Amino acid sequence: MKVAIIGAGAVGSACLTALVMRGCASEIIVIDRTSEKARGLVTDVQYGATLSPSVVIRAGDYADLKGAALVMVTAGVNEKTGGATNRGDPAGRLRLLDTNVGVYRDVISRLDAVEPEAMVLVVTDPPDPLADATRLMGHGRVLSTGTFLDSLRFRFHLARRFGVSASSVSAQVLGEHGTSEVFIWSSAHIAGVPIQALLSQQRDNDFDKFRSDVEDEVRYANISIIEGIGASQHGIGMVSARIAEIILRDERVAIPIGCYSPEYGVTLSLPSIVGREGVVRTLDPELSMDERRGLLRSVDTLKAALGQIRRSELQPS
């Protein structure tokens, strides 16, 4: 199946490499506003792609989107350029919203002129409000990468602290992919044993400090990465490629992913079964009262962002 990546920057490059390595696409089109950049990226990756399952990779233009099953959009200003790297700023990635809505207006209008039925995967930050913006622009088939990466980071840090493989950890982050995200501690476990019970068996068993430390590492992981290499790219690239694989192969895997919720009125991450048509079904997890309140606060944050988008739509262009 044909997949397209719009945006050949750091994240788009990571998405392409991970997608090639997974071998789930037969053709990958890379589009960038600077055509030389797309061509350079494709030229670089195509040589290493000889080690992967057969795939045609080429730089193209919007006309080449015809027949694409999935379009990953990574275009837009990133956190470092957009000034969203302050741990004390509650807005976080939402600082990028106005600028990146403008980018998406151009991208989605050009996509819809060629392939309006393509599934759009929003990777650009902030992904959940940008998925809502895409929907308001008239493109209904849209998902955001949501809190899938946050959930993997949560699992990683729990695994490291308990000395087990991350594959043995079950833990989710829901709501906004941003500062209001909600860590679902009540159901986090290793082999069926709750995290809090495991912690109680250790000498250093201060759960409140443990929880705060883990949440800070996950919530601000992007900033720590940016401080080191300038862009948070490889993790989200691998996550995006995995989502593409789930969709293209109709796997019906349950993951936390950003999808519009009629109940909440915004795009947010809930555990969802994902297949070729996108989210097939959203699951309703059991949450503690604190987690439920946290999720509603996250919804309020996302609703405020949606209101910001709607107001911008009323401004003369």
**Where is the binding site for NAD(+), in residues?**
7-12, 32, 100
d(CA 3, CA 31): 11
Q: What contacts 49, CB < 8 A, 6 or more positions away? A: 20, 55, 57
Residue spans of beta strands (DSSP E) within 138-188:
142-144, 169-170, 173-174, 182-183
Nearest to 173 by CA among 150, 192, 199: 150
Question: Is 177 in the active site?
Answer: yes
User: What number of CA atoms fall less than 13 Å from residue 227's CA on the CB side?
Assistant: 8
- Cα 197 to the chain's mean position, in Å? 31
Nearest to 61 by CA among 107, 13, 15: 107
**Cβ–Cβ under 8 Å, residues 297 and 180:** yes
Q: Report helix angle 234-248 to 10-22, nearest 10.
A: 50
Q: Which residues participate in the annotated binding site?
A: 7-12, 32, 100
Catalytic residue among 157, 177, 189, 234: 177
Secondary structure (3-state) at 189? strand
d(CA 27, CA 9): 20
d(CA 55, CA 35): 21
Catalytic residues: 177
